[in-house]
Chain A
Amino acid sequence: MNAMNMPNAAKPPLLETRELMIKFGGVTAANNVSMQIEAGRNLAIIGPNGAGKTTFLNICTGWLKPRSGKVFLEGEDITPLPPRKIVRRGVARAFQIPQLFTEHTALENLLISASAREGLRNPLQNLHNIRQRDEMMHLLDLVHCTDVADRVVVELSEGQRKLIDIAVALALKPRLLLMDEPTSGVASSQKHEVMEILVGALAEAGVTSVFVEHDMGIVARHADEVAVWNAGNVQLRGTPEEILEHPDVIRDVIGEEVA
């Protein structure tokens, strides 16, 4: 179906997948996944380990190519594109294990991101003197990391690295940010604080987000919408209230911990 022919949709969804299929050996990690992600929402993806949540993010960002099916970004087929070309179209990614330049400082990671965004090429300009420095300092402030701006990434805590990783993605000024377990590795006492910071930063930047999460407290408090993944497909989708009280979710995803 062409996005132009969609009923009641003058504008195609921000991201849409149609019948995505991918297998790793005998395991089907994406089994006919069709879903739409509308702009301006924070969508949480939950599900048991091995359900295909990260695989979905990897396909959407071009890291993995589906055996069949397609990914559309505002109606444009981005399935064959490499990650860098998808990034340039406004889709950024934050990772479960932060992907940072470990020999650079937190601020330099952001400055490099801004340089990539702006395509800075002047070989005689110092990275620290680029016009976007104030903007990056503001971004560090948004994620409450100004105090570690000049510290090398390897010296930072896991929680700080997570925030810097997300800030690096935000520095690209994306329309859509895909995050894989943004609060994993963060102390449980700080998870809500970190998530508050993140959601605030996303709202200020006007970024739509999709995040994989295992902590149902985080999902209940910070997601606008929840999609439940099971055996490589979307089993359920709805508001956090609807989903987290659904018997199937309580049995298959939440388990006895909450029940």
Chain B
Amino acid sequence: MSDISQHSTSRGAVKSGGMPSLRALLTLLAVLLLAAVPFIAPSMQLLINLALAKGIAVLGVTVLLRAGQVSFGHALFFGISAYAGAFLMASLPAADLILVLIAGVIGATLSGLLVGLFVVRYRGIFFGMLNLAFSMIFWSILEKFYHVTGGADGIRLPRPTVLGMALERAGFEAVIFYLSIALMVVLGWFTLRWFASPVGQVFQTIKTNETRLEYLGLSPKRVLLSGYLLSAILCGVGGSLMAMTQGVVTPEYVWWVRSAEMVFIAVLGGAGSVRGAFIGALIYEIVRVYASAYAGDIWQMLLGAFLLVIILFAPGGIMGIADGLMHRGGKSLTSTRENAE
């Protein structure tokens, strides 16, 4: 399997090259712009919210890409988290939003641990396909045990209370929207820090040399499991937010297309890039919605062609292009300053 994570910059997280202050400034502006969406483009709020939920889940896939591993089944944790929240609401109708989120994260963590203990023994195509197998097993369970899971129709997830308050639809949507932005910022920041930390750096060495890892006194399986758990938790948070935004969970949450979509978005944004996960998710959702509205059945073809162009001409993804522009801009700024001096 060609290593689509080869363009990820494991070192970039440790010593961010280029123009970190400009990057931080642009990130801040982007977050502020997102926060202003309900006021400047209210019709886009739901769409952006779904993109943010997906972006957090894609961040989970991104974590694994940093170790050179591609999972084609991470929608499993997305779905388990969503169903955990739905089951909680079914048995405890007065449950709070925070409880739903916690239930989802616990579900994703436990399932991540169980599946992870098995799949971390494998690498490359076997790792990817085993993840897919687990997600499809869970999909079958959701489909077949319809008396518990609601089958293909899924389960409704009624609006939970927010800190004890029962909100109307608009209020609840605003809370979920800003919660999604807050989680994007916190989890994105945490993941960046984790990548740069000793434990995150050790995790990324899975990609280059497991023999040395073993000869440093570490278990490659255990090291991979730590990142796998983080990735499962991130997917779980994304799934929980998606479920509360949509108000219904269906087996489609764990369907293999959802997993492939996460990998697609991760590559589109920039394999291994934290910001890329969110930018990729935003662009993907916007293109998907508008292309399906205006280009009918050929929108998948458009997305496929777009991905092909990215892989062939900009393997660093959208963030790779953005970084290239920033570097070029930085250089020309420097040379301008040098000329002026």
B-binding residues in A (CB < 8 A): 61, 82-85, 87-88, 92-93, 95, 99-105, 108, 111-113, 115-117, 120-128, 130, 152, 168-169, 172
A99-B211, A103-B10 in contact; A124/B197 too (CB < 8 A)?
Answer: yes
B328 proximal to A (CB < 8 A): no
B73 proximal to A (CB < 8 A): no
By a CB distance below 8 angstroms, the chain B residues around A172 are 216-217
By a CB distance below 8 angstroms, the chain A residues around B199 are 115, 120-123
Chain B residue with minimal CB distance to A121?
B199
A101-B209, A128-B15 in contact; A123/B200 too (CB < 8 A)?
Answer: yes
B212 touches A99 (CB 8 A): yes
A126 touches B14 (CB 8 A): yes
A115 touches B209 (CB 8 A): no
Of A88, A102, A111, A123, the contact of B217 (CB 8 Å cutoff)? A88
- Please classify the interface of chain B as helix (H, G, I), strand (E, B), loop, or mixed, using the class held by over half of its residues: helix
B171 proximal to A (CB < 8 A): no
A104-B208, A116-B202, A124-B197 are known contacts; what are 14 more A-B pairs with Cβ within 8 Å?
A87-B217, A88-B217, A93-B215, A99-B212, A102-B209, A104-B11, A112-B202, A117-B217, A120-B199, A121-B199, A123-B199, A123-B200, A130-B198, A172-B217
Residue among B214, B216, B218 with most chain A CB within 10 A? B216
B208 touches A101 (CB 8 A): yes
Kindly state the separation between the CA atoms of A199 and B20 in the bound complex, as whole angstroms.
42
Q: Closest CB of chain A to B311's CB: distance in Å? A: 20
Chain B residue with minimal CB distance to A165?
B212
Q: Closest CB of chain A to B225's CB: distance in Å? A: 14
By a CB distance below 8 angstroms, the chain B residues around A84 are 214-219
Of A61, A87, A113, A127, the contact of B196 (CB 8 Å cutoff)? A127
Q: Which of B188-215 contact A (CB under 8 A)?
A: 190, 193-194, 196-202, 204-205, 207-209, 211-212, 214-215
Q: Closest CB of chain B to A78's CB: distance in Å? A: 13
A112 touches B215 (CB 8 A): no
A-binding residues in B (CB < 8 A): 10-11, 14-15, 190, 193-194, 196-202, 204-205, 207-209, 211-212, 214-219
Chain B residue with minimal CB distance to A113?
B216
By a CB distance below 8 angstroms, the chain A residues around B219 are 82, 84
A92-B215, A120-B198, A172-B216 in contact; A127/B14 too (CB < 8 A)?
Answer: yes
Q: Closest CB of chain B to A182's CB: distance in Å? A: 15
B212 touches A168 (CB 8 A): yes
By a CB distance below 8 angstroms, the chain A residues around B15 are 128
By a CB distance below 8 angstroms, the chain A residues around B211 are 95, 99
By a CB distance below 8 angstroms, the chain A residues around B193 are 123-124, 126
B208 touches A115 (CB 8 A): no
> Which 4 residue pairs across A and B have the least CB separation, nearest first?
A115-B198, A116-B216, A87-B217, A120-B198
9 residue pairs of the A-B complex, CB under 8 angstroms, read: A88-B217, A103-B11, A103-B207, A112-B198, A112-B201, A120-B199, A123-B190, A123-B199, A127-B196
Kindly state the separation between the CA atoms of A92 and B14 in the bound complex, as whole angstroms.
26
A123 touches B11 (CB 8 A): no
Q: Closest CB of chain B to A124's CB: distance in Å? A: 5
Kindly state the separation between the CA atoms of A186 and B280 in the bound complex, as whole angstroms.
46
By a CB distance below 8 angstroms, the chain B residues around A122 are 197-199
B218 touches A108 (CB 8 A): no
Q: Closest CB of chain A to B185's CB: distance in Å? A: 15
A108 touches B214 (CB 8 A): no
B214 touches A83 (CB 8 A): yes
Kindly state the separation between the CA atoms of A105 and B190 in the bound complex, as whole angstroms.
23
Kindly state the separation between the CA atoms of A83 and B190 in the bound complex, as whole angstroms.
32
By a CB distance below 8 angstroms, the chain A residues around B196 are 126-127
B202 touches A99 (CB 8 A): no
Kindly state the separation between the CA atoms of A125 and B209 in the bound complex, as whole angstroms.
23
Q: Closest CB of chain B to A102's CB: distance in Å? A: 5
Q: Closest CB of chain B to A199's CB: distance in Å? A: 21
A103-B207, A112-B205, A127-B14 in contact; A87/B198 too (CB < 8 A)?
Answer: no
Kindly state the separation between the CA atoms of A103 and B198 in the bound complex, as whole angstroms.
15
By a CB distance below 8 angstroms, the chain B residues around A124 are 190, 193-194, 197
By a CB distance below 8 angstroms, the chain B residues around A95 are 211
Kindly state the separation between the CA atoms of A105 and B11 in the bound complex, as whole angstroms.
8
